Structure 1
Amino acid sequence: MVRKKLIAGLSVAAMTGALTVAVAGVAGGAPAVTWSPCTEEILVGFDCATVAVPMDYAHPDGKQISIAISRHKATEPQRRRGVLFTNPGGPGGTGRDLLYNYLETPLAKVYDIIGIDVRGLGGSTPLNCEVPSTPEPVPTTRPSDTVFPRITEYEKQWEEGCVRGGGEFRKHVTTPNTARDLDRVRAALGEDKISYLGVSYGTWLGAVYGQLFPEHLDRSVLDSSLDPGTTWHDQAYDVVDATKANFDHWASWTARRDATFHLGTTPKKVRASIDKIADRLAVEPVGGIENQTQLDLVVGQYTRYRQVWASLAKDLQKVQAELPLPAGDPALADSNRRAAAVAARLTEQAKTENGVYRTILCDWAWPTDLNVYYRDMRRVRETVPFGGTVPQLAPNNCFFHQGDREPLPAIGKAKYPKGLVLAAEGDTQTPMVNGEAMARTLGSSLIAVRGEGQHGQYTAGGMDPAIPVKPNPCVDDKVNAYLVDGKLPPRRTDCDSTNPPAAIPTDPAPGVEDLIADLGSIAEQLLHAVLPHQAR
């Protein structure tokens, strides 16, 4: 799940079920694909083509739009077992260049791997939104109450701009229609079935495809999944919980090494050290950090990735001591470089997917009371401001969306062919609980990666290029065995992360006072886990 545009700036008439049957019949008569070598520089070496699909599947003979696709042919054609459709998520990530992620895997030997720019994106018929005429509120991880209405007004302008820019086409950019496009592409390729590998939002798209066209889905891997039974808004609560859990794990790890980092001997004391830095940053820059927002983004980003826990603790130790960092200090400079790289990547992605992202979000129902958003923003601002959690809970353009949307299909195991779901313990974009829910709902097998924070598990496919990650054979081998040979793992398999924290010795056993403080922190975490979100 890619964060809404505000977070990117910080770092970061209803159809009936009968329509599906009609669409499936139409897809069978789709014209064959005509391939030619790709001419775009990033796609050179692949084959490219376009497929015409209805803009409105209720009127399949009406206006047509174009879907751009790419292909890498199986390198061992004698072993070819069909096509593998891929999707990078977003919603709205361009997909034709995703093929690069899989060229060095066994999948490339036996599958024609297909990349797709979904409707509205990239080389496909574009969906555009007009940019608001008023400036965006200054991005901040801790917006004051006075900023809330400005954020809301800005999002209203985005919705109005999307209505003007998208016109009639926007009404038909939905996840079910994107799934129908996939089936049109399948038919145009002359394939009876597809296998599917989707990441992030691509897992939801895959689940919807399997629900609408189960007879055409063979093997599927849903990597870093959404929860198919929960709205996008409510999954933001899971993001907050995962962000807090990452911070708590890092604080505990750091507290056990206070002789090295000097941030506090208990998790509470470590948090107090961070809060003192944040309080100072509210007044002036300190220790190479400009403001609270920069601090929150660095802390939120680094606490999810265990392999950089030590770097974060060392940097904050220097800031806490208010020691001016020498020009070009590699530690904090590296922290800021990575945070800036994440922000640049997400900002660029938001620019290219803007219309689709802000349209697909409105597939789901959203709270209609602004007080719900403002209440959550206040609560999280005080408790878990790290990594952009507060903007995640802010009103977005869908609060102002008007008009009917096609109901989302109910996802279940009755129709969906049993497949494989991947999830990571520290992933804050699609938290582990979402992946567990997807596997449970579909009756699919789950690979759970313990101690891992990256988003995208297969082929070390983390979505953050600024953080170094090592491949995880425990994950990759099982995915390959399933997609290539059909060997599905047991109902649940736990893998350990290949990106652990630095091997820094722990301090001697704590005294009684610290033990009591540790128990208090554990009790607080347990209370947080069992209380419903509304009670927090």
Structure 2
Amino acid sequence: MPPAPSPGRGGDNRGRRSDRSGYQLIHRLAIDPAPYFRINHSGTRAHGVSHHPQGSHFEGGDTVRVRRSGSVLLAGVLLLATATPALAAPTDPLADFHQQQPSWSPCKAGSPTECASITVPLDYANPGGNRIRVAISRHKATDQAHRRGILLLNPGGPGGSGLGLADRLAKQQVAGVYDLVGFDPRGIGKSTKLQCTEVTGGPQVKNPTRPDDADLPTYTAWAQQQEHACQEAGGGLRPYINTNNTARDMDIIRAVLGEPKLNYLGYSYGTQLGATYGTLFPSRLDRNVLDSAMDPNKTWHEQDVDSVEAIGQNVNDWAAWVAARNNTFHLGTDAKQVKAGVEEIATALRTKPVAKLKDLAELDSSVGLYTRFRQGWAPLAKDLKAALDEVHGTGTADLSVAAGIARKRTLEKTVDGAYNTVLCEWDWPDERTSYRKMKQYRDTMPYGDAVGFMAPTPCAFRSFTRLETALPAKRDYPVGIVVQAEGDTQTAYPNGVAMAHTLGDNLISVRNEGVHGHYGSNTCVTALVDDYLINGVLPGSHTVCDPQQGPADIPPDTQRSAVAADIASLATTAQQIDAQLAESPAK
């Protein structure tokens, strides 16, 4: 069973602002404008805010100037916050945005889900300046008599389009009592888009999962080129594409839809976004679910290290499971022997093709992916034994289909401008530190994309001035739920435990599972979350769910004498996993 969160959950002071003095009066104002503006501890607006000239444009639609009175109102708000506490609350500087009337139309012909777009400030410190567009979708509650508001949805990423989530989750029970609301965050999809020019092909190295020392500078060159290309394509927009501004956009969505509060379901990076919204707007967040969560106390790079460790743990767990069933798989009686067999195949691949694998990267990505998904454990062991027999000259094997899927899902990444920009909210190690970690995992645990996780990133060479960084998480709103799988490699299990601990939320663990994103796919998780979102019934402080699909039901050698087992082919299992990933709401 996964460990429970440590005692005293939510009782420490990590993630809390040490000084909120500059906010105190503003938070007493009826319009509560403080979360929209960058304020330093003296109560004045932070320096370094840039403004675009009138008439500038971004891809995805023209930006529009609003009345200059907005700037005056902002100045007035800040002046009141520091000098005139006895005066009445000023006019809401975001009133123009809050009072929008979206023009709804079906997202696609015959669909009950409607789409529209709204405008939001490019820069919340200058709401009278340029506007950008945010695309939203809505599937109205089917039981209007019991409707309890909106459920805002985000799939993660960053860079994931959420416009289709309302339609995707419309068959869930929550669609009865909530308007399901999706959106494309700023910089993404049908919202004003930040589009980076891709540096073709990524780093060109012979063995990307096990690069030679001489190949490592290639990763730095690629990261620098990608950062330059992103800055060239969207440099004027990049300082404003960040988690805090997206959370502020969420609050405008809430206001435009006429709701005093929003309810929230976020997956993956969407958990960071949800926690940020709650930190900025605690009085406006009601029921909330963070599925496959990030650790709000760590940098993105530190969580990448956790992901690499999770890949290694999955490989070790798989090897131990296979070794306990040696009468079936014949790969060794302990985990060390099983992994030695994998490395024997890797050694052979350096000099000749094996099992129709093109290279080491196909082997390593296959081991990383199919040890994460437990239904892949038995087929992977079966096919690796066939590959090992081929190395020994006693058989043939074909891992090409499964390996192609694994390479696509593990190593082939689409460059996304919003992703590369949002990640720059965190600090990143320099290239020499990255090289040390790349060599460490190359030599000890090269499976999946472990080495790629440690490679230099474009954000290590950030070429724009970031106006804000990720906020410490704090909960002054109702207790919610964090869901986390034991074998998730996109957000590792300890990350979710840390999120639950920091916020004082209740934790649902999914044991022996590598899936990322569980609401809507795991029946145990879905039932618990539905009961909370619909009826307000929280599960216990730590509840454990079984996986939706665990390893094949093959008893260990100590529990049976028969050795025959009906094991699906790895190719078939790989195609099922590929389809499962395509349907997952979590990105």
TM-score relative to the length of structure 2: 0.77
Of 487, 490, 499, the residue aligned with 1:438 is 499
Q: What CA distance in whole angstroms lies between the structure 2 residues aligned with 1:95 and 1:53?
A: 17
Decide whether aligned partners of structure 1 residues 509 and 68 sit closer, same or farther in structure 2, where only a CA change above 3 A counts: closer
Partner of residue 276, structure 2 = 208
- Report if aligned partners of 1:35, 1:47 keep a CA contact under 8 Å in 2: no
Structure with higher Rg: it is 2
Decide whether aligned partners of structure 1 residues 134 and 315 sit closer, same or farther in structure 2, where only a CA change above 3 A counts: closer
For residue 365 of structure 1, what is the amino acid of its counterpart? Answer: D
- Report if aligned partners of 1:447, 1:495 keep a CA contact under 8 Å in 2: yes
Q: What CA distance in whole angstroms lies between the structure 1 residues aligned with 2:410 and 2:337?
A: 30
Q: What CA distance in whole angstroms lies between the structure 1 residues aligned with 2:182 and 2:395?
A: 48
Give the 3-state SS of the residue equivalent to 1:171 in structure 2: helix
Mapping for residues 256-335 of structure 1, pairs under 5 Å:
256-322=324-390, 325=396, 332=399, 335=402
Decide whether aligned partners of structure 1 residues 194 and 222 sit closer, same or farther in structure 2, where only a CA change above 3 A counts: same
Q: What CA distance in whole angstroms lies between the structure 2 residues aligned with 1:324 and 1:32?
A: 68
State the Cα distance separating 1:283 from its structure 2 match.
Answer: 1.7
Give the 3-state SS of the residue equivalent to 2:516 in structure 1: coil
Give the 3-state SS of the residue equivalent to 1:287 in structure 2: coil
Of 20, 28, 39, the residue aligned with 1:16 is 39
Q: What CA distance in whole angstroms lies between the structure 1 residues aligned with 2:373 and 2:235?
A: 42
Decide whether aligned partners of structure 1 residues 57 and 426 sit closer, same or farther in structure 2, where only a CA change above 3 A counts: same
Decide whether aligned partners of structure 1 residues 370 and 136 sit closer, same or farther in structure 2, where only a CA change above 3 A counts: closer
Q: What CA distance in whole angstroms lies between the structure 2 residues aligned with 1:26 and 1:276?
A: 66
* Residues 1:182 and 2:250 aligned together: yes
Partner of residue 381, structure 1 = 442
Partner of residue 469, structure 1 = none
Give the 3-state SS of the residue equivalent to 1:392 in structure 2: helix
State the Cα distance separating 1:35 from its structure 2 match.
Answer: 3.6
- Report if aligned partners of 2:156, 2:270 keep a CA contact under 8 Å in 1: yes
Partner of residue 128, structure 2 = 61
Partner of residue 536, structure 2 = 486
State the Cα distance separating 1:144 from its structure 2 match.
Answer: 1.4
Of 170, 179, 183, the residue aligned with 1:112 is 179
State the Cα distance separating 1:25 from its structure 2 match.
Answer: 4.5
* Residues 1:156 and 2:217 aligned together: no
For residue 364 of structure 1, what is the amino acid of its counterpart? Answer: W
Of 458, 480, 486, the residue aligned with 1:397 is 458
- Report if aligned partners of 1:207, 1:411 keep a CA contact under 8 Å in 2: yes
Give the 3-state SS of the residue equivalent to 1:387 in structure 2: coil
Q: Which runs of 5+ in 2 are unaligned?
A: 1-36, 47-73, 79-90, 561-587
Q: What CA distance in whole angstroms lies between the structure 2 residues aligned with 1:431 and 1:293?
A: 23
Of 345, 358, 369, the residue aligned with 2:420 is 358
Partner of residue 474, structure 2 = 412
Of 432, 442, 445, the residue aligned with 1:371 is 432
Partner of residue 477, structure 1 = 527
- Report if aligned partners of 1:226, 1:438 keep a CA contact under 8 Å in 2: yes
Partner of residue 519, structure 2 = 458
Q: What CA distance in whole angstroms lies between the structure 2 residues aligned with 1:250 and 1:192?
A: 49
Q: Deviations over 1:385-434 (max 9, x none)?
A: 11101110111000111424313221123x24321100000001001100
Q: Deviations over 1:93-127 (max 9, x none)?
A: 00101123311111110000001000011110010
Partner of residue 502, structure 1 = 552
Q: What CA distance in whole angstroms lies between the structure 1 residues aligned with 2:194 and 2:443?
A: 38
Partner of residue 101, structure 2 = 33
Partner of residue 140, structure 2 = 73
Q: What CA distance in whole angstroms lies between the structure 1 residues aligned with 2:363 and 2:524?
A: 34
Partner of residue 521, structure 1 = none
TM-score relative to the length of structure 1: 0.84
Structure holding more helix per residue: 1
Partner of residue 255, structure 1 = 323
State the Cα distance separating 1:477 from its structure 2 match.
Answer: 0.9
- Report if aligned partners of 1:33, 1:49 keep a CA contact under 8 Å in 2: no
Give the 3-state SS of the residue equivalent to 2:472 in structure 1: coil
Mapping for residues 128-147 of structure 1, pairs under 5 Å:
128-132=195-199, 136-138=203-205, 140-147=208-215
Q: What CA distance in whole angstroms lies between the structure 2 residues aligned with 1:452 and 1:277?
A: 27
- Report if aligned partners of 2:362, 2:407 keep a CA contact under 8 Å in 1: no
State the Cα distance separating 1:458 from its structure 2 match.
Answer: 0.9
- Report if aligned partners of 1:101, 1:459 keep a CA contact under 8 Å in 2: no
Q: What CA distance in whole angstroms lies between the structure 2 residues aligned with 1:287 and 1:337?
A: 12
Q: What CA distance in whole angstroms lies between the structure 2 residues aligned with 1:483 and 1:241?
A: 33
Q: What CA distance in whole angstroms lies between the structure 2 residues aligned with 1:337 and 1:382?
A: 24
Decide whether aligned partners of structure 1 residues 378 and 398 sit closer, same or farther in structure 2, where only a CA change above 3 A counts: same
Q: What CA distance in whole angstroms lies between the structure 2 residues aligned with 1:135 and 1:361?
A: 18
State the Cα distance separating 1:262 from its structure 2 match.
Answer: 1.2
Partner of residue 46, structure 1 = 113
The alignment covers a number of residue pairs equal to: 474
Partner of residue 64, structure 2 = none
State the Cα distance separating 1:297 from its structure 2 match.
Answer: 0.6
Partner of residue 103, structure 1 = 170
Provide the aligned C-alpha RMSD in A: 2.4
For residue 15 of structure 1, what is the amino acid of its counterpart? Answer: R
* Residues 1:243 and 2:243 aligned together: no
- Report if aligned partners of 1:446, 1:493 keep a CA contact under 8 Å in 2: yes
Q: Deviations over 1:167-223 (max 9, x none)?
A: 211111011001111111111111110000000000000000000011110111000
Q: Pick which of 395-404 and 477-486 moved more.
A: 395-404
Q: What CA distance in whole angstroms lies between the structure 2 residues aligned with 1:324 and 1:154?
A: 41
Q: What CA distance in whole angstroms lies between the structure 2 residues aligned with 1:404 and 1:375?
A: 27
Decide whether aligned partners of structure 1 residues 135 and 301 sit closer, same or farther in structure 2, where only a CA change above 3 A counts: closer
State the Cα distance separating 1:336 from its structure 2 match.
Answer: 3.2
Give the 3-state SS of the residue equivalent to 2:235 in structure 1: helix
Q: What CA distance in whole angstroms lies between the structure 2 residues aligned with 1:377 and 1:118?
A: 32
Q: What CA distance in whole angstroms lies between the structure 1 residues aligned with 2:503 and 2:350?
A: 47
Q: What CA distance in whole angstroms lies between the structure 1 residues aligned with 2:478 and 2:157?
A: 24
- Report if aligned partners of 1:210, 1:417 keep a CA contact under 8 Å in 2: no
- Report if aligned partners of 1:228, 1:438 keep a CA contact under 8 Å in 2: yes
Give the 3-state SS of the residue equivalent to 1:96 in structure 2: coil
State the Cα distance separating 1:74 from its structure 2 match.
Answer: 0.4
Q: Deviations over 1:214-254 (max 9, x none)?
A: 11101110000000000000111111111111111100010
Q: What CA distance in whole angstroms lies between the structure 1 residues aligned with 2:498 and 2:237?
A: 33
Partner of residue 575, structure 2 = none
- Report if aligned partners of 2:263, 2:288 keep a CA contact under 8 Å in 1: yes
State the Cα distance separating 1:343 from its structure 2 match.
Answer: 5.5
- Report if aligned partners of 2:355, 2:400 keep a CA contact under 8 Å in 1: no
For residue 484 of structure 1, what is the amino acid of its counterpart? Answer: I
Q: What CA distance in whole angstroms lies between the structure 1 residues aligned with 2:401 and 2:445?
A: 24
For residue 216 of structure 2, what is the amino acid of its counterpart? Answer: F
Q: What CA distance in whole angstroms lies between the structure 2 residues aligned with 1:208 and 1:61?
A: 24
Q: Pick which of 488-497 and 16-25 moved more.
A: 16-25
Q: What CA distance in whole angstroms lies between the structure 1 residues aligned with 2:271 and 2:115?
A: 24
